[in-house]
Amino acid sequence: MPKPRNYQTEAIIIKKTKLGEADRILTFYTPHLGKIQAFAKGVRRPRSKLAGHLELLTYSLVSLARGRNLDTIIGSQTINSFLRLKSDLELASYALYVTELIDKFTADEVENYPLFQLLLETLERLCEADDKELVLRYFELHLLDKVGYRPQLQQCVSCHLPLEPVTNSFCPSAGGMLCPNCSQNQPLTYPISVNALKVLRLLQGSDYDTAKRLKLEPELSHQLEAVVRDYFNYLLEREVKSTAWLGDLREQKLNQATLP
């Protein structure tokens, strides 16, 4: 049975690319179609009726017409505009980091409903939560789980023995933790304190309502961030572009805080 020419889907706009003088190609992440791209004709014109519903970081109900190579957007209605994310530069940087990871770790047209839910809930949490860094760490660990790269945090990935409560090491190429003995023979490992490993395990194995009770000291938060980012860089074989922007914003914020 042939597919209907027109169809609708809920979608979060995770990327946009200019095309010609007035058009765009938009990348959506959807509940049941996975990641898809579509052509938005004339959306960059000032009088476009669709433009407001097709902004980056917007959750919309999108109507599309199937095309030979690329489907065309024929209608869109905003479900949640996430205005707070768009009106705060720091929040926007967090949200764009999240959507970049979704884009990098997903193939086109592969359904992953749990990942869609994680993305939607993360954008909502960034609008509401006090500890945005904790929101990101929770998202990162659960993203890795849902795309098939869940790191082994309970036992040594080399000797398979349970990890003792001492300083163990994370090895990106091995996909998890190494005990002190096994880490001596493995290059590019990162020592992880007992507390940091406890937090990583809690974030990986808990729901968000449990995880959000954590209070992370800045030093511990930075250690967790560094470990996960190094793992991402290894898996993607490149740095995540938006991390540079995040770093610049943090440095500016720190400089402003230290001004007399």
Local structure of 8: helix, strand or coil: strand
- Measured CA to CA, the distance from residue 187 to residue 219 in angstroms comes to 24
Distances in Å between the Cα of 197 and the Cα atoms of 136, 182, 208 are 17, 17, 18
Fold of 6-81: OB fold (Dihydrolipoamide Acetyltransferase, E2P) (2.40.50)
Give 168 or 251, the one with higher predicted confidence: 168
What is the pTM assigned to this prediction?
Answer: 0.92
pLDDT at 240 over 70: yes
pLDDT at 28 over 60: yes
Question: What kind and span of H or E run contains 223?
Answer: helix 218-236
Percent of the chain with pLDDT over 70: 96
Other C-beta atoms lying within 10 Å of the C-beta of residue 8 = 13
pLDDT at 248 over 80: no
- Measured CA to CA, the distance from residue 143 to residue 105 in angstroms comes to 9
Q: Domain locations in the chain? A: 6-81, 85-258
Mean of pLDDT values over 2-24: 92
Report the chain's C-alpha Rg in angstroms: 21
Give residue-wise pLDDT tens across range 164-205: 999 999 999 999 999 999 998 888 898 999 999 999 999 999
Residue 48 confidence (pLDDT): 86
Residue 146 confidence (pLDDT): 97
**Mean pLDDT over each residue of the chain, to the nearest integer:** 92
Give residue-wise pLDDT tens across range 88-132: 988 999 999 999 999 999 999 999 999 999 999 999 999 998 899
Residue 252 confidence (pLDDT): 72
Mean of pLDDT values over 28-33: 98
pLDDT at 237 over 70: yes
pLDDT at 256 over 90: no
Taking CB atoms within 8 Å and a gap of at least 24, the contacts of 118-125 are 118/142, 118/143, 118/146, 119/12, 119/14, 119/29, 120/12, 120/59, 121/208, 122/98, 123/12, 123/57, 123/59, 123/80, 123/82, 123/85, 123/95, 123/98, 124/80, 124/82, 125/208
Burial zone of 141 (CB within 10 Å; 0-12 exposed, 13-18 middle, 19+ buried): buried
Residue 52 confidence (pLDDT): 87
pLDDT at 47 over 90: no
Q: What residues have CB less than 8 Å from 202, skipping those under 6 apart?
A: 210, 211, 214
pLDDT at 260 over 70: no
Residue 101 confidence (pLDDT): 97
pLDDT at 19 over 60: yes
Quickly state the pLDDT bin for 76 (edges 50, 70, 90): very high
Reply yes or no on domain 85-258 having CATH 1.20.1440.120: yes
> Are 154 and 163 a contacting pair, CB within 8 Å?
yes
Quickly state the pLDDT bin for 258 (edges 50, 70, 90): low
